[in-house]
Structure 1
């Protein structure tokens, strides 16, 4: 059986300590899993929550959870999130949904980017992830 990776969250006192993400996450050993950006589509390819950011965010994180499960992992294995938003005014709602899934005591490294549009005009959020597993 393969040993699980060691995941470290080193303190970097020279960087601002902003809640909700870790500036550095180090993975030692194990395997790396890359999850493509997930959008608010159900299994049939229908948009979930058109016009409702929170509903879309919940679908996105549920999709990530399903993708992680497909390789035997959970959100505890996520070491990096990249979040694409069509408007930064959604950040508080995104953070609230994200915090339902990630370990808020040791959150993954994260980046948030505002984009002018996503692959479908009704979409408001896309999230991609990197996970580390045994």
Structure 2
């Protein structure tokens, strides 16, 4: 079954966001992807000290998790970014832009945190998606 997602960049009376949609909706099976960090398949940290390398690895891990649910980045309706420094957001956005169509940006939130669960980690991202039945 094909699913149709609707993206609203700026509802009436709401200032448009840069790099995200304020509202996304559709129908289908809900998929929640736990926060992913920059670990390779062996559990090793990729890109220690390098937010761009970590962001690319995180999006690769998200891609693999989405695939396990029969989904792709086209199905993502919401991303939540946890970063240890908001200065890492340009690197995160660049990695996102490599895998997500700019015309179909999901809703998103970005939160700066004091730390992630291991000190060498700079970025964690969780995703919500809708997949056709």
Which residues in structure 2 correspond to 1:28-39 (within 5 Å)? Answer: 29-39=27-37
User: Which residue is equivalent to 1:68?
Assistant: 66
Deviations 1:22-75 (A, max 9, x none): 000012x21000000000001110000001111100000000000011111110
Alignment size in residue pairs: 131
SS at match of 2:130: strand
Q: CA RMSD in A?
A: 1.0
CA contact (8 A) 2:74 2:104 kept: no
User: Aligned partners of 1:120 and 1:4: how far apart in 2?
Assistant: 39
Stretches of structure 2 lacking an aligned partner (at least 5 in a row): none
Maintained 8 Å contact 1:40/1:47: yes
Distance in 2, Cα, partners of 1:15 & 1:21: 13
Larger proportion of helix = 2
Classify the secondary structure of the residue corresponding to 1:9: strand
1:41 corresponds to 2:39: yes
For structure 1, the residue ranges without an aligned partner over 5 or more in a row are none
Of 62-71 and 4-13, more deviation after overlay is shown by: 4-13
* In structure 2, distance between residues paired with 1:88 and 1:111: 12
Structure 2 CA distance for aligned equivalents of residues 34 and 90 of structure 1 = 24
> Which SS does the other structure have where 1:105 is aligned?
helix
Contact residue 5 and residue 31 of structure 1 kept, 8 A:
no
Report the Cα distance in structure 2 between the residues aligned to 1:30 and 1:91, rounded to whole angstroms. 30
TM-score (norm 1): 0.94
TM-score scaled by structure 2? Answer: 0.94
The yes-or-no answer on 1:92 pairing with 2:90 is: yes
